Structure 1
Amino acid sequence: MARALITWGGWEGHQPDVVARLFATWLEEAGMQVQVTDSLSCFDDPADLADLSLIVPVWTMSEIGKEQAENAAAAVASGVGLAGCHGGMCDAFRTNVTWQFMTGAQWVAHPGNDGVNYRVRMTSDHETVNGIGDFDVSSEQYYLHVDPAVKVHAVTDFPVVEGPHSPNGPVEMPVVFTKAWGNGRVYYNALGHQANVIDHGPAAELMRRGLLWAARK
């Protein structure tokens, strides 16, 4: 049976425990064996990591050990999938560049903070977004520094809220993207400030598909 590891922690405002349970439910419904932990010690054993089908980090900020990050990166490069959302994957472990290189982006701002009304637009026919129409969200709108190697499948438009970024003019910011890390598939979705943003409707379907797409087949 395919095995998934979900590890959660960090800033409590993102409800990492609730988001982790949501992801576990979707993966179990898809027939996967799921381990959920609130410790980063799960990254200590390279052999166990390499035996997984999927790693799902749900950590905002916090710190990861250098060897732990390298073990996770090696596992993904060997073919283990990596998937996550919002700050739980791309605002985790801000001081670890290996993590940022692997995940493909780093959060830097959310102008207007929570409760910004914005549209998510599909921009490809990739299987993670195909048939899901554009939709509106009221949440944090993530401004990311993004790896130019990623394949973008959904975007949002900046600026919605005025700020020092506004004089640069309109910017299409990735919301959903995929990339390769060695033999592994990496999926990221910028939605998910709290569980109620991604537990229903098209946002939920985007995230559910992304988790399953990334998992090693």
Structure 2
Amino acid sequence: MTDPTAPGLVLLHTSAAHVPVFDALRDRNHPGAVLRHLVVPELLDRARVEGPKAVAPALREVLTGAAAGVAAGAGRGSGAVLVTCSTIGAIAEALAPVLGAPVLRVDRPMAAAAVRTGVRIVVLATVESTLAPTAELLAEEAGGRPVSIRTHLVAGAWECFAAGDAAGSLARVAAAADAVTGADAIVLAQVSMAGAAELARTRIPVLSSPAAGLAEGLRQVAAS
């Protein structure tokens, strides 16, 4: 049994569908780890319309509460905050110095793995607002090394996901991955796309963010 007063990892989601994904990863790979979930879908809704920077004030308020343990519902402190929305991840990380707690975007470890894999990277996303932040993150992780980054919006996949048809969304993403040529790695830019990595038949490595992101978030909890 986990200690409910122990410092834990707060996960900020913009979809409730992500909660069981990370709970399952915790149970499989990190038994006993304390996860506290906070779901704020309006952050992504606004970012898609107005751009990620427009949500900075609201995101700062949410993250301040998360860092203080508000997400736990009991005023307890948290060791770190993991932001699972790729669209707002960069804005969230930039706020870390004023929060007093580590803030990690879930896709950073995946991006680091992608640039280690090769220089030709294809980014697949189901939401257009995620494409630029993910490409920028990959360039940042490359550390000045030349990389070729191609982005592709998977038509219809987000509409399926939003309608509750997760299987249909993943099938579209997997088909898009299988159609990729001339790449060293394929990056699935959003948490909701992760299941497509197991469906894709391409020989090109298909990278997703949840497992690596959760592992790094819990590492930061242990270090905090």
TM normalised by structure 2 equals: 0.39
More strand by share: 1
More helix by share: 2
Structure of greater Rg: 2
TM normalised by structure 1 equals: 0.40
